[in-house]
Chain A
Amino acid sequence: MQANKSSKLLILGGIFTFLFLYVPLILVILYSFNDSRIGISWVGFTLKWYKVLFADSQLMSAAVNSLIIAFVASFFSVILGTFAGVALHKYKVPLLSSLIMIPVAAPELLVGVALLLFFLLINFTLGYVSIVLAHIAFCTSFVTLAVKSRMVGIDNSIFDAARDLGANSFKSFYLVLIPSILPGIIAGGLMAFTLSIDDFVITFFTAGVGSTTLPLSIYSMIKMGVTPEVNAISTIIILFTLVITSLASKISPQLFK
C-alpha cells in the first residue's frame, strides 16, 4: 500500500513538472496559429503569421546569421572542449577544473561585459567575428564539462589496452578515445549549438552596430508587444531543437543509453 501511494505521488509530481515546463510552450505554439493579431481568445486556425514571417527579409537574414554563428561556434567549441575535457580528466589540475566552470556559473551579464571590455582593449572591431569568438568562449566550457563527465564514466584501462593491442598513440586516440566519449561530445555539441542560437546577453554586448542575430531581432520586435509573428518564430525554434535532438539520438541510439 505504502509503495502504491508513493508511486501515485510520483506520477502526480511528474505530471505537474511536465505541465509546468510545457504549458507555456504549448500556448506559444497554439497562438502562432490563431487568426487574431491581438487578444488571447481563439478565433480560428491560420498559417498567415508564418507567411508574414517568411516574407520578413530582415528577420530571415537574422535567422541565417544565427544559424551560421551557431554552427561555427559549436564546431570550434567541440574541438577545443574535447581536448580540454580529456586533458582535465587526465591531468587533474585542481584550479583549472574550477576555472573552466566560470563561464558556466558566472552571470552572463558579467561574461558579456568582460568580453566587451576585452575586445575594446585589444581594439577589436565588434561584429560577427567578435560574436563568434564570444560564443566559442562560453560554449567551450559546456563542451568541456560534458566531455569531462563522460570521461569519468570510462574505464581508463581501455586506453592502455588499445596500446597493448597494437594501436599507436594516434590510433588509440581516434579509434578508442574519441568513439568512447562520442556521446559526451555530441551532447556537448548540441548544448553548444542551442546555447549559441538563442544567446541574447553576451551577443548583445559583443555585436556592435549593424550586426544582428535572431534573439536580438526578436527582442527588438517584442519591444512593440508580443505579436503572432514572434509566436510563429518561437514555434519554429522549438521544433528545430526537437528535430536536432531526436536526429542525434537516431544517429547513435546505443550511445544515448
Chain B
Amino acid sequence: MTILQIKNVTKNFDDSVVVDNISIDINQGEFFTLLGPSGCGKTTLLRMVAGLISPDSGRIFLDGKDITDLPPEKRPLHTIFQTYALFPHLSVFDNIAFPLKMAKWDKSRIVTQVEELLEDVQLVKFKNRFPHELSGGQKQRVAIARSLVDRPKLLLLDEPLSALDARLREHMHIELVKLQEETGVTFVYVTHDQQEALALSSRIAVLNGGKIEQLDVPTKVYSKPKTYFVADFLGKCNLIKAEVISTTNDAVTLKIAGYINLEVKCEYAANYKIGQKGWYSIRPEKIRLNREEVENTDLYRAQAKVLGYYYYGNDTLYEIELGDNLVLKVMLGNTKSVEPKFFNEETMVHMSFDPHAGSFIAEEL
C-alpha cells in the first residue's frame, strides 16, 4: 500500500532546477532512502514533503490525501533534522512532550507516553537534562524520541547520523532499524553515504542533479547499476568503454576496451542496436587473481601485471594492468587465518572474472 506519493514535483531556486519532475511512490512500513551527492536536492525534496517549502509544480499525497497545500503543523509526519534541532530552553522530557502538548493531549497521558519513549531510547536518566548537557548521540536519540512520540504516519530523516563518529553511527544503524520495525512507521531517509543506504534500506532512489538515476532494491542498485553515475557513486567500480557488436534476447556481446569480446546477460538486450556505445561495469570484488592459470573456460581470463595495492584490513585493493593501458581495480578479501600474503608490485598474475557478474551501461539511456 502506498503511503507517500510524490507526483511530478519540481522546485527551482534562482532559475536553477533543484528538484526536476520527480515522482516516487513509497510503501507503508518501508525504509526508503534518498541517496545522492551534496547539492543534488535531497533536503529540498524532503522539505517539500514536510511542508517547509512548497513545490513550484506537482502534488504530494499522504495516505491518499493531497497534502501539497497543508502547512507543516497540519501534516501527520515529522522530520529529524541534520542538526537535531532540539529546543535549547526545554529539558529532554519537555522536548519529547512538545508534539503531544501541541496536539493537546491530557497531562497524565503525556507523562506515560513520554516515559515510554524515554525507555525506548534509553534516556530515562537524562529526562531532566537540557540539550547542552547531552552528547551528540544522546541528542540524536532525543530527536528520534520526539519525532516518534505521537506515532506519525511518516518520519523524514535528513542525514541524521552524519555528525556522529563511525562507531556510534554503526550502533545507531542497528537502533534505527529496530525502532522502525517496532513502530512500523515508514521512514524516508536521506544520506550521501552509500554504505549506510545499502545496509538500511528496503529501496533506494539514487538522485543526481535533481533527477532520479535509479530506483530499486539495494542489491539491484549495487550490482546492476543503470547509469554511469550510479555505478561510479556506489562503491568502487571498474567502468570500461564498450560497444555492442551483437544482441540476443537476453544478452549482448560487447567489444570492451577495443579488443576484448564478451557476452553479458542483459535485461534490456532487445533495446540495444549494434554499435550502441557505453560501458562495461564490473565491481572489483568480482575479479579473481591467481598465481597459476585458471582452468574454468566460462570465465574471462587474462594475464595482468600488479601495479600496486592498498591494505584495508578486511580486504586489499589491487591495481592491475592488462594490455593496452587497461587498468582494473581488484578487491580481494583477507579471509585466510594466517597473515595475508600480497601480490607484490610488478608481479605477473592470472586474472579472471565471470562476464555475467558485470553489466552493460548504455550511453544516454
Chain A contacts to B: CB under 8 angstroms: 154-155, 157-158, 160-168, 171, 176, 179-180, 182, 254-255, 257
Whether A165 and B99, one on each chain, are in contact in the complex, defined by CB atoms closer than 8 angstroms, is yes
Contact A179 B99 (CB under 8 A): no
Question: For the complex, is B171 an interface residue (Cβ under 8 Å from A)?
Answer: no
A64 to chain B, nearest CB (A): 36
A179 to B52, CA, bound (A): 22
B132 — which chain A residues lie within 8 A by C-beta?
257
Within the assembled complex, what's the spacing in Å between the Cα atoms of A167 and B102? 6
Query: Looking at B50, B89, B90, B150, which has the most chain A CB atoms within 10 Å of its CB?
Result: B89
Within 8 A of A (CB), among B48-88: 50-52, 71-73, 78-79, 81-83, 85-88
Are A165 and B52 within 8 A (Cβ)?
no
Q: Is B211 an interface residue (CB 8 A)?
A: no
Query: In the complex, what residues of A have CB within 8 A of residue B102's CB?
Result: 165-167, 171
Is B343 positioned at the interface, with any CB of A under 8 Å from its CB? Answer: no
Within 8 Å CB of B72, what residues of A?
160, 163-164
- Extra contacts besides A176-B87, A179-B90, A254-B130 (18): CB < 8 Å: A155-B85, A157-B85, A160-B72, A160-B79, A163-B51, A163-B73, A164-B52, A164-B72, A164-B73, A164-B79, A165-B78, A165-B99, A166-B102, A166-B103, A166-B150, A179-B87, A255-B89, A257-B132
Chain B neighbourhood of A257, CB < 8 A: 132
Bound-state CA distance A157–B88 (Å) is 12
16 A-B residue pairs with Cβ-Cβ distance under 8 Å, sorted by A, are A155-B85, A158-B85, A158-B88, A160-B79, A160-B81, A161-B87, A163-B71, A163-B73, A165-B99, A168-B71, A171-B102, A179-B90, A180-B88, A180-B89, A255-B89, A257-B132
Residue B146 interfacial (CB < 8 Å) = yes
- A164–B87 contact, CB under 8 A? no
Taking a contact as CB atoms under 8 Å apart, the answer to whether A166 and B73 are in contact is yes
Measured between beta carbons, the chain B residues less than 8 angstroms from A182 are: 89
Given the interface pairs A155-B85, A166-B99, A166-B102, the reply to whether A161 lies near B79 with Cβ below 8 Å is yes
Let me know if B130 and A161 touch, CB within 8 A: no
Q: A171 vs B102: C-alpha distance in the bound complex, in angstroms?
A: 9
Give A255 to B103 CA distance when docked, in angstroms.
28
> Could you tell me the distance between the alpha carbons of A166 and B132 in the complex, rounded to whole angstroms?
23
Least Cβ–Cβ distance between B180 and chain A, in angstroms: 19
* B353 part of interface (Cβ distance < 8 Å): no
Contact size class for B?
A: 20 to 34
Contact A160 B99 (CB under 8 A): no
List of A residues within 8 angstroms of B150 by Cβ: 166
Enumerate chain B residues within 8 angstroms of A160, measured Cβ to Cβ. Answer: 50, 52, 72, 79, 81, 85
CA of A176 to CA of B131, assembled, Å = 14
Does B98 sit at the interface, judged by CB under 8 A? yes
**Given A163-B72, A179-B89: A157 and B83 within 8 A (CB)?**
yes
Among candidates B71, B82, B146, residue contacting A165 with C-beta atoms closer than 8 Å: B146
Contact A165–B98 (Cβ < 8 Å): yes
From residue A154, how far is it (CB to closest CB) to chain B in Å?
7
Report Cα–Cα, A242/B83, bound state, in Å.
38
Chain B residues near A162 (CB-CB < 8 A): 87, 98
Complex Cα distance, B102 from A168, in Å, reads 9
- Expressed in whole angstroms, the minimum distance between the Cβ of B301 and any Cβ of chain A is 55
Those of B343-361 within 8 Å (CB) of chain A: none
- What residue in chain A is nearest B47 (Cβ atoms)? A160
Known contacts: A158-B86, A180-B88, A180-B89. The answer to whether A167 contacts B73 by CB under 8 A is yes
Query: Chain A contacts of B50 at CB under 8 A?
Result: 160, 164
Point out the residues of chain B lying under 8 angstroms from A158, CB to CB: 85-88
The interface centre, meaning the residue of A163, A167, A168 with most chain B CB atoms within 10 A of its CB, is: A163
How many angstroms between the C-alpha atoms of A171 and B71 in the bound complex? 14
B52 lies within 8 A of A163 (CB): yes
Given contacts A160-B52, A179-B89, contact A168 B73 (CB under 8 A): yes
A15 CA to B79 CA, complexed, in Å? 51
Instruction: Give every chain A residue within 8 A of B87 (Cβ-Cβ).
Output: 158, 161-162, 176, 179-180
- Considering only residues 248-281 of chain B, those with a C-beta below 8 Å from chain A are none
Once bound together, how far apart are the Cα atoms of A155 and B139, in whole Å? 14
The 3 tightest CB contacts between A and B, nearest first, are A166-B102, A161-B85, A157-B85
Which residues from chain B contact A163 at a C-beta distance below 8 Å? 51-52, 71-73
Task: State the Cβ distance, A257 to closest chain B Cβ, in Å.
Answer: 8
CB-defined contacts of A255 to chain B, threshold 8 Å: 89
Bound Cα distance A168, B50 (Å): 14
Question: Which chain A positions have C-beta within 8 A of B85?
Answer: 155, 157-158, 160-161
Bound-state CA distance A161–B160 (Å) is 14
Report the separation of the CA atoms of residues A162 and B50 in the bound assembly, to the nearest whole angstrom: 12
Q: Which residues of A contact B146 (CB under 8 A)?
A: 165
